Chains A and B, each alone.
Chain A
Amino acid sequence: QKEVEQNSGPLSVPEGAIASLNCTYSDRGSQSFFWYRQYSGKSPELIMFIYSNGDKEDGRFTAQLNKASQYVSLLIRDSQPSDSATYLCAVRRGSTLGRLYFGRGTQLTVWP
């Protein structure tokens, strides 16, 4: 069973639209959830983290967590061409000492 699953995409949205990225995880004891953005050939860049059920907003980004459904999502409002990247969902289990489990990522393209 895969630890963290994401739709690989590609997801393509027009500029100004809302992009919705989804992630599910298998370990019900997972405690921390992260979204990273990765441009081609570059390192993961942290954009959001969420620890509690519900929504967390930061600028144009909103992370949503539903632990009962083992589901975490990222909404990007007013999408810009510069948002075009691969978005990685990462999960930290309660039993691990900092280790992150990554999904394969969803490739997002925002076209002007």
Chain B
Amino acid sequence: EPEVTQTPSHQVTQMGQEVILRCVPISNHLYFYWYRQILGQKVEFLVSFYNNEISEKSEIFDDQFSVERPDGSNFTLKIRSTKLEDSAMYFCAISGTANTEAFFGQGTRLTVV
């Protein structure tokens, strides 16, 4: 199973601050995703990224969110001005193609206070 490493494992931030969540896939998978899971709720899709551009995004992924893969390895999710409701587990996932199985990283728990 492909390995996906996420950092940090837990981040606490004040409301209004910017956070950057990082994902490092240890493989040559081509598709990257961010999902989030609010405590007690289902896993929700945020965005997919392929060939250095966003291929799809959900209604959750508004202007306060952005993604990039600046150096060809790290894949980052930036939340510009965090809100209390952004508190959740954020998961990075990878897949070889758009049609194959996706593997998840261990997640980053974001707590906005």
Contacts and interface: CB of A to CB of B under 8 A. Distances in A.
Interface in B43-71: 43-45, 48, 50, 55-56, 58
Nearest to B44: A102
Contacts of A100: 33, 35, 43, 45, 102
Nearest to A94: B99
Interface residues of B, number: 27
A: interface residue count bin:
20 to 34
B11 to A, nearest CB: 15
Interface stretch (A39-47, A54-62, A71-79): A39-47
A83 B30 CA distance: 31
Interface of A: 31-32, 34, 36, 42-46, 49, 88, 90, 92, 96-105
